[in-house]
């Protein structure tokens, strides 16, 4: 991943859940927040409700690949956490890929633009 570091500290995840914005879909919940760094930080979680270890790993693999395919569309300087839902392990990669490309990136950019306007 070109502009991305791995987000792996529990404190960072909890902070993002508390103070970040969220986008909800059938397959994933995306939490995001600006981080003030020259790179993005990316994390994935998949709880036991997603299924057994095989299904959780498949969901994480699909999410990771969809993020890689669309990494250049995301604005630089945000923390992003994808939380897999039960249907994430059963969906094809291109479905999640198109959702990120068509909807999620636009919503993130829109929110960040509004937040920037209010700060000025």
> pLDDT per position in the chain (120 positions), as tens?
777 899 999 999 999 999 999 999 999 999 999 998 999 999 999 999 999 999 999 999 999 999 999 999 999 999 999 999 999 999 998 999 999 999 999 999 999 888 888 876
Contact residues for 42 (Cβ-Cβ < 8 A; gap 6+): 1, 4, 5, 6, 7, 67, 79, 80, 81, 82
Q: Does domain 4-111 have CATH number 3.20.20.70?
A: no
Rounded to two decimals, the pTM is: 0.92
Domain spans of the chain, in order of start: 4-111
């Amino acid at each position: 991943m070109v502009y991305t570091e791995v987000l792996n500290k529990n404190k960072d995840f909890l902070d993002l859940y508390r103070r970040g914005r969220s986008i909800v879909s059938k397959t994933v919940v995306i939490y995001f927040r600006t981080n003030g760094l020259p790179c993005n930080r990316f994390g994935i979680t998949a709880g036991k409700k997603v299924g057994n270890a095989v299904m959780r790993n498949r969901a994480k693999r699909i999410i990771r690949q969809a993020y890689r395919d669309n990494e250049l569309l995301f604005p630089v300087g945000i923390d992003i956490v994808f939380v897999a839902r039960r249907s994430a392990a059963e969906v094809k990669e291109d479905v999640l890929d198109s959702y990120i490309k068509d909807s999620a990136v636009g919503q993130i950019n829109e929110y960040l633009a509004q937040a920037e306007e209010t700060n000025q």
